[in-house]
Amino acid sequence: MLIPNIEVFQERRETFLNKLDGKAAIIPGANLVRHHADCEYPFRQDSNFWYLTGFDEPDSVALFLSHRPRGERFILFVSPKDVISEVWNGFKWGLEGAEKEFKADKAHSINDLKDLLPNYLSGADELIFSIGKYPKIEKIVLEIFSQQLESSSRIGVGAKSIKSPEVYLNEMRLIKSDFEVNRMREAIQISAEAHELVRESISSKKNERQIQGLIEGFFLEKGARGPAYNSIVASGDNACILHYTSNNSKLKKEDLLLVDAGCSLHDYYNGDITRTIPIGGKFSKEQKIIYEIVLEAQKNAIKSAVKGSDSNRVHYVALEILVEGLKDIGLLRGNTEDIIDNGLYKHLYMHRTGHWLGLDVHDVGAYRMGDYEVPLKNGMILTVEPGIYISDRIPVPAGQPCIDEKWKGIGIRIEDDILVHDEHPDILSKSALKEISDIEF
Ligand code: GLY
Ligand code: MN
Ligand code: MN
């Protein structure tokens, strides 16, 4: 049983409670999810619940009561201790542990939530709860809310609205503290080392599944929980399937191997890295041409990921270079601006160039607010991951050139994790090599 760094969570709760200013937040944890028969998927805590509590057990609910005096503001509902259940399913902190180790002002059994919640919520101006995500808890919260609405219409006291916690938490989670940056560095470093291991071992591997085993075994060996998402190990044309996770094809020397994999640490911080390497050690002429275009796009997009820029600008820097490169080799034709404005490149590049990265792989936080692009700030972490995927799957748009057979089956993505840092983007995943001279053998 790991006790996380408790001061970090206390500090976050303090910030959250200050933002709440008279409101009461109900933040549920995750439940176990059935896989088959009576077996469950490995437990994965809800990211917002984790961010505020560091408590890693299923069936828990946290309350943040900014309308209450200090010492009554952080309440945890958890599974009570039960010797028999612990014999079957392992250690639980129980009410005492929730108070002593996790610093709840008061802990209760989760079985008492329905009875105790009305009293805790009374006196709050507004309720903070995420509608549509936690059906069991939502039923209880809505019942209390409707009673409060009724009483507020009669006696003028009680919450009159429900707002989403994301309004506060997304903004907090988007900027990583020094503590979080260090955790991210560790997750990304382990992930980068796994990619290096793939390249060093590729010549002795025969199947995509062996590469998956190598990567995920390495994550566990390094003390991570496991993969942050289903590892993508895609050889040849499989790489043109963006979320390919079957990972069961034979490796062919003349193909490329695209690996998109990252680990998740025990406190849920994640890496997300993609490398594409020649299985036989040398790029073919066509593979090399496409790789060089993607690499050029990626390096320039990374350069643009600095304070004051924004994620749309990063995307457009990559997009312009990809389109120009594809025009040069006859896979696109026309005016670059027209191609981009009309999406005439989307049969070859069909995703955005990156996303926020943190406790969630596609982490929370706004990219834009209507027409306003959210500017990059120090402490944000984003991925930069352009690619080119050449196959028959998406029809060539009218007016664009047919694809010569020699290009088909080439799928390349290069993905790094970037900490925004004044003028110089900090490439957290840089130890996973990507220059052609470094990855050919
Ligand atoms: N591995 C998921 C992504 O790159 O977004
Ligand atoms: Mn990504
Ligand atoms: Mn990825």
Domain that holds residue 390: 175-439
What pLDDT score was predicted for residue 158?
82
Q: 165 and 225: one domain?
A: no
In a domain, 304, yes or no: yes
Picking from 121, 142, 171, the residue at the C-terminal end of a domain is 171
Total residue count of the chain as it appears in this document:
441
Establish whether 112 is a catalytic residue.
no
- Phi/psi class of residue 252: alpha, beta or left (left: φ > 0; alpha: ψ in -120 to 50)? beta
What pLDDT score was predicted for residue 237?
98
Q: 247 and 206 in contact (C-beta within 8 Å)?
A: no
Pick the catalytic residue: 355, 363, 416, 417? 355
Task: Write the CATH number for 284.
Answer: 3.90.230.10
Establish whether 38 is a catalytic residue.
yes
Q: 294 and 267: one domain?
A: yes
What pLDDT score was predicted for residue 128?
98
Q: Are strands 162-163 and 127-128 parallel, antiparallel or unpaired?
A: parallel
Containing H/E element for 62? strand 61-65
In a domain, 1, yes or no: no
Task: Write the CATH number for 139.
Answer: 3.40.350.10
Picking from 137, 171, 205, the residue at the C-terminal end of a domain is 171
Q: 151 and 262: one domain?
A: no
Q: 166 and 184: one domain?
A: no
Q: How far is the CA of 15 from the centre of ligand 3 (A)?
A: 31
For a ligand 1 pocket test, name from 241, 264, 274, 384 the mutation site with the most ligand atoms within 8 angstroms of its C-beta. 274
Q: 160 and 268: one domain?
A: no
Q: 147 and 196: one domain?
A: no
Low-confidence ranges of the chain (pLDDT < 50): none
What pLDDT score was predicted for residue 66?
98
Q: 185 and 167: one domain?
A: no
Name the residue among 95, 29, 15, 97 with its Cα closest to residue 63.
29
Q: 93 and 115: one domain?
A: yes
Identity of the residue numbered 15: T
Q: 164 and 201: one domain?
A: no
Task: Give the model confidence (pLDDT) of 113-151 as tens digits.
Answer: 999 999 999 999 899 999 999 999 999 999 999 998 888
Total tally of structural domains belonging to the chain: 2
Q: Which two tokens stand for residue 315?
A: 């995307």
Containing H/E element for 336? helix 336-341
What pLDDT score was predicted for residue 155?
79
Name the residue among 313, 312, 334 with its Cα closest to residue 323.
334
Q: 326 and 297 in contact (C-beta within 8 Å)?
A: no
What pLDDT score was predicted for residue 151?
80
Task: Please state at what angle helix 6-20 crosses helix 166-174, rounded to 10 degrees.
Answer: 130
What pLDDT score was predicted for residue 3?
73
Q: How far is the CA of 381 from the centre of ligand 3 (A)?
A: 14
Nearest CA to ligand 1 atom 2: 272
Q: Is the CB of 316 under 6 A from ligand 1?
A: no
Picking from 171, 202, 220, the residue at the C-terminal end of a domain is 171
Task: Give the model confidence (pLDDT) of 269-286 as tens digits.
Answer: 999 999 999 999 999 999
**Nearest-angstrom CA–CA distance, 298 and 293:** 9
Identity of the residue numbered 369: M
Q: 45 and 142: one domain?
A: yes
Establish whether 296 is a catalytic residue.
no
Task: Please state at what angle helix 113-121 crosses helix 135-155, rounded to 10 degrees.
Answer: 40
In a domain, 131, yes or no: yes
Q: 109 and 139: one domain?
A: yes
Q: 166 and 207: one domain?
A: no
Nearest CA to ligand 1 atom 5: 362
Name the residue among 288, 343, 290, 292 with its Cα closest to residue 315.
343
In 216-272, DSSP assigns E strands to 226-227, 232-235, 256-261, 263-264
Q: 48 and 93 in contact (C-beta within 8 Å)?
A: no
Q: Is the CB of 385 under 6 A from ligand 1?
A: yes
Q: Is the CB of 193 under 6 A from ligand 1?
A: no
- CB-based contacts of 392, cutoff 8 Å, min separation 6: 403, 408
What pLDDT score was predicted for residue 373?
97
